[in-house]
Structure 1
Amino acid sequence: MEKLDIPGAALVVVRVEGVVHAKGYGRVSEDGGEVTPQTPIPLASITKSVTALVVMRLVESGQLELDAPVQRYLPWFRVADPDASADITLRHLLSQTSGLSTLSGRLSFGSTDISREALAEATRELAEEDLVAEPGTEFHYSNSNFTVLGAILEAVSGRTYEELVEEEVFAPLGMGRSFISVPAAEAHGMAGMHQYFFGRVVPVENLPYSRRVLPLGGLVSSAADLGRFARVLLNGGSLDGTRIISAEGVQEMFQPEVQIQDRVFYGLGWLIADVDPSRRVFHGGDGEGFTGTIALFPEEGWGYVVLINANSYSSGPNFQQLKQAVEKVLRGQEPAEVAPTIFIAPVIGLAALLFVQLIAAARTIFLLRRWRRHPDRRPRKAWIRWGWHVGLPLLASATIAVGVLVLLPHMFEIRLQGMLLFAPDVGYLVVAIGSIAIIWGILRTILVVRSLRSRTPRH
């Protein structure tokens, strides 16, 4: 943590019979306070595993069927393809094989919709969405899958997602330091969130809150509570005499549904890796200032939880190093030396492009001043005047603007608004470069054209 400049973290290691290790490290926030295993920290996409358990609870109570089409529960559900709309099932949603795109799942980033119909409304907005694959054929990680699941849960149960999670998971498992959202947890000692801004860790405050993101990444829990969640799954679905789900239900969630890469699969709300010496069932979570992972080894009967109150998408540490190091230590192995990866290629490339823009602008200003002082130095050939000094720079500005404001976010399958939330240093560089390209591109053209059209004074 010291080498990676991580402010705070909590680690809990469990076996079927109980907690093996539970400890907090570092600080809760800039104002002080120590992180403990009971400190609430946002879960981000670890939430998907909790949502999957809620779905399985309703499956086992007979309210849902995994292989039923979504339209059985949401008759109005649509994507752009009518046939595909009828083919998508709950299993497809849970296994990330519906064909919904990664980009579609990020469109709610930055939303502030807290209405009762937020999940249903977000699901309705998929009506014009083109699928990237036929349902059931390919893995495409999309938050939209769990948005739709949230809408289904609410429609079938008549309860809000918040009520469902509390009644179906948190209360039965005794997860008293777990909360439905960041606003709900802030009054109960939630750890402050942090991001890395050009390599420096800074606190994050006043992030937008929306009910649209609850089933896919909105829950908050402590490492100790998440340890109880891990134990019930390691123990075949029961904990302290309370059965939450059948052993068969647990096995169904942990069964590989689709291959992602060599020896890595996605089940029902869980990632599965066939690694030595035994299968790892896990899920990570990355948010706008927090990250974590829960990993289970069902064949060996143990697992661990790591929650961190910071995150980096662009110019901070690679948190995967810490998670891998934890697992190696738990297996009695020597962990690899951790090292910060402060600046990645996009940050360096964008910073270099901004520098080139500023140099080019300064050169143009110098050139215009020289033309004003020495009009005879203005080019006389038309292709140099209008092609080299006007057309080419304007084309370059337009290309840069489209590249950074449109193509770059599309390449990372995220909107600019989401980029500003999750990677603010990259986002601000993109906004600065795009703004300069548009504003200076237009202003430069006007100034150069005016200078070239002005008459040379007679002497």
Structure 2
Amino acid sequence: MKKLLLIIMLFTLFVSPFSAIAVSNNQAELIKEFMDNAMEEYNIPGASLVIIKNGDLVFQENWGVQSNGSPVTNDTLFTLGSVSKPLTSLGIMMLVQQNIIDLDQAIDTYIPSFTYNQNGHEQKITIRHLLSHTSGISSYEGLKIAELNLRGKDAINDAVQKLNNVELNHEPGKVHQYSAANYLLLGKIIENVTNQSFTEFMNEELFSKLGMNQTVSNYKSASELGYQPGFQSWFGKPIQSENIYDDSGAPYGYISSTSNDMAKYIQFLIKGEGLLSKQNFETYISPQVSRKEDMYYGLGWRISTKENDSFFFHGGETPDSRSELLVNSEKNYGFILLTNKNNISEVLQTTYMKEGIKAIIENGKLPESPKVTHQMQWMTLFGTTLLALLSVWNLFVLKRKSTIRKKMWIVVGLTSIICSIALIPALTYIFGAPWHTINYFAPDTAFLIKCLVGVLACNGFLLLSIIILEKKRRHFLKKKSIRMKLFHNR
């Protein structure tokens, strides 16, 4: 009887884990197949994915290469983009726990040198407002101070100086406006209250305590760890990026990390212990402002409150990278996907990948990767080509005409020049983004727009030049005719 009980116990101990591993292996194969398909479909040069389940690392895989041709590994550095925001928020919450910062205290207390125009609004900006993007500082103002490629220990301070005297467009606390400016100011607050650089504080108080020894927040440290810039996408084709790494942007977008290190961060998020008290951790991942039905923004997190499908997550992008972080506390899993290519027109590609990975983990089913389109680029190319052909045709017709309707062609020429001058300002207004942002995040479209500006300007100047030359020619012929008549009349 004892032998039978011993056999049953051993069977239970060994068979159950193998059964769990079999399910995990099945999911792993589905994830690999899904990722292989997505990497090919979306033409992504390199990616790294790590999945944590019940606090344990259950999947880690890498695909493709970096821009220098070396393979992506578990220790390859990727810029996190806006996934930097939850890390900055965690740094703030650690200072809250130490009673150095109060979430509902006006920011004037911590950065008195920074001033802003309240524009008639009564409420002062608080730390909570910055964390939840409800400060009243617009998205456009945030983009103006982003991707400036500032480097060095004073980079954050220099960017804050550029933001100084910003005008609020809403009452603080009332409207959610996603803005890099909010997290830039949080970075400056951390520097002021700790008398450390943002990099030093994050390294000593956060990264080292989580064992994230290859996570850095400035270009010098990243380059020492072998950081390689990613790829910008031109009509879906990856082209090696310029070396864009904005030290001033570390609090909102330029922390860089590896899948190994981010696995440790996700383990902290799932366990909810180690750096913060239970109360402060709950605040850290709590909804703050409603964005749409069942979807909120918290203190550096996007949060789904759907019944039976609640989770918190954040996506991130720089001009040459994209990342997706998702944690489901109820189902005890989380993952991060790091990729090294980006274009604003391809923003949904990693979102599809995130949703696909989530579906495999939760349902064990292989989803399809939606097909890619480059509609924005093709439409711009079509418009540019059409206008170029139309301009050539206009010049050809104008050249052949013996009699020029001067007023009509002057209007056409002037309109063309005015359009060339106004096109880029109009687009920045329509898209709510400065030109340098469009140039970085949609380089192919920006190039075509510049070509379009050139076509319009050349068309206008050539039309006016032809009219002016024709006028001079007629004036010359008229004078010549008068001289001939005078000569014959003698």
Tell me if both proteins adopt one fold, taking TM over 0.5 as the criterion. Answer: yes
Q: 1:389 aligns with which of 402, 405, 409?
A: 409
Establish whether residue 269 from structure 1 lines up as the match of residue 307 from structure 2.
no
In the comparison of the two structures, how many residue pairs are matched?
A: 440
Q: 132-141 or 417-426: which moved more?
A: 417-426
In structure 1, distance between residues paired with 2:400 and 2:254:
58
Corresponding residue number in structure 2 for 1:180: 217
Alignment partner of 1:215: what SS? coil
Give the distance between the partners of 1:360 and 1:327, measured in 2 at CA: 49
Q: Which residue of 2 aligns with 1:282?
A: 313
2:323 equivalent among 289, 292, 302: 292
SS at match of 1:24: strand
CA-based RMSD: 2.2
Question: Aligned match of 1:366 in 380, 392, 396?
Answer: 396
Structure 2 vs 1, CA of residues 252 and 435 (structure 1 numbering), >3 Å: closer, same or farther?
Answer: same
Q: Give the Cα separation in 2 of the matches to 1:222 and 1:143.
A: 23
Q: Using a 3 Å threshold, how does the CA distance of structure 1 residues 317 and 5 change in structure 2: closer, same or farther?
A: farther
Structure with the largest fraction of helix: 2
**Partners in 2 of 1:326 and 1:178 — Cα distance?**
24
* 8 A Cα contact 1:119 1:211, kept in partner: yes
Which whole-Å CA distance do the structure 2 matches of 1:297 and 1:89 have between them? 29
From 425, 430, 436, the counterpart of 2:444: 425
SS in structure 2 opposite 1:63? coil
SS at structure 2 position matched to 1:98? coil
Is 1:229 the counterpart of 2:248 in the alignment? Answer: no
Aligned equivalents of 1:423, 1:54: Cα separation in 2: 32
Whether contact under 8 Å (1:290, 1:309) holds in the other structure is yes
- Shift in Å at residue 279 of structure 1? 1.1
Measured in 2, the distance between the counterparts of 1:339 and 1:15 equals 27
SS, match of residue 455 in structure 1: helix
* 1:39/1:177 contact within 8 Å kept: no
Q: Deviations over 1:226-267 (max 9, x none)?
A: 1111111221222xxxxx111211110211110111211000
For residues 67-103 of structure 1, what are the alpha-carbon distances to aligned partners after superposition, in whole Å with 9 as ceiling and x for unaligned? 0000011123222226658610000000000011111
Matching residue's letter, 2:451: A
Q: Identify the residue that residue 158 of structure 2 maps to in structure 1.
A: 121
2:384 maps to which residue?
354
| Shift, 1:438, TM fit | 3.0
Equivalent residue number for residue 88 of structure 1? 125
Provide the rounded CA distance (Å) in 1 between the counterparts of 2:467 and 2:382.
25
**Distance in 2 between the 1:261 and 1:53 partners?**
25
Q: CA deviation at 1:192?
A: 4.6
Q: Could you tell me how far apart the structure 1 residues matched to 2:222 and 2:188 are? A: 23
**Counterpart of 1:149?**
186
Alignment partner, residue 243 of structure 2:
206
Native 8 Å contact 1:182 1:220 kept in 2: no
Distance in structure 2 (CA, Å) of the matches to 1:350 and 1:172: 49
1:448 aligns with 2:467: yes
Q: 2: distance between equivalents of 1:28 and 1:260?
A: 36
1:394-405 equivalent positions in 2, closer than 5 A: 394-403=414-423, 405=424
* CA distance in 2: counterparts of 1:215 and 1:4, whole angstroms: 29
Matches within 5 A, 1:57-72: 57-72=94-109
Are positions 1:100 and 2:137 aligned together? yes
Task: Give the match for residue 352 of structure 2.
Answer: 321
Deviations along 1:276-331, whole A, 9 cap, x unmatched?
Answer: 53311111101111111111111222111111111222369722211111111111
1:434 aligns with 2:453: yes
1:114-139 residue CA offsets vs partner (Å, 9 max, x unmatched): 25433233223334422221100010
Larger Rg: 2
Query: Who is 2:253 aligned against?
Result: 217
- Secondary structure at the counterpart of residue 29 of structure 1: coil
* Structure-2 separation of matches of 1:217 and 1:6: 20
Is the Cα contact below 8 Å between 2:231 and 2:240 reproduced in 1? yes
Question: Gaps spanning 5+ residues in structure 2: where?
Answer: 1-38, 485-490
CA distance in 2 between partners of 1:204 and 1:112 (Å): 13
Q: Shift in Å at residue 150 of structure 1?
A: 0.8
Q: TM-score if structure 2 supplies the norm length?
A: 0.84
Q: Call closer, same or farther: CA 1:116–1:17 in 2, change over 3 Å.
A: closer
CA offset at residue 11 of structure 1? 1.1
Residue 310 to residue 132, structure 1, CA distance change in 2 (3 Å)? same
Kept in 1, the 8 Å contact 2:289–2:296? The answer is yes
Shift of the 161–316 alpha-carbon distance from structure 1 to 2, 3 Å rule, reads: closer
User: Which stretch of structure 1 is more off in the superposition, 424-433 or 57-66?
Assistant: 424-433
Deviation at 1:56, TM superposition (A): 0.5
Query: Per the alignment, in what secondary structure is the counterpart of residue 87 of structure 1?
Result: coil
Distance in 1, matches of 2:128 and 2:429, equals 28
Residue 43 of structure 1, CA deviation: 0.4
CA positional deviation for 1:112: 3.5
Aligned identity (percent) is: 25
Contact 2:67 2:230 in 1 (8 A): yes
The answer to whether the 8 A contact 1:234-1:302 is kept is yes
Aligned residues of 1:318 and 1:340 also touching (Cα < 8 A)? no
Cα deviations by residue, 1:182-211 (Å, 9 ceiling, x for unpaired) = 44223324355112112212221322x333
State the distance in 2 between where 1:155 and 1:317 align.
37
SS of match in other structure, 1:230: helix
Distance, in Å, in 1 between the alignment partners of 2:142 and 2:288 is 20
Given the superposition, is the C-alpha separation of residues 445 and 110 from structure 1 closer, same or farther in structure 2, using an over 3 Å criterion? Answer: farther
Gaps of 5+ in 1: 239-243, 372-376
The 8 Å contact of residues 45 and 283 in structure 1, kept in 2 or not, is answered as: yes
State the Cα deviation string for residues 203-222 of structure 1 (Å, max 9, x = none).
Answer: 21322x33321111111111
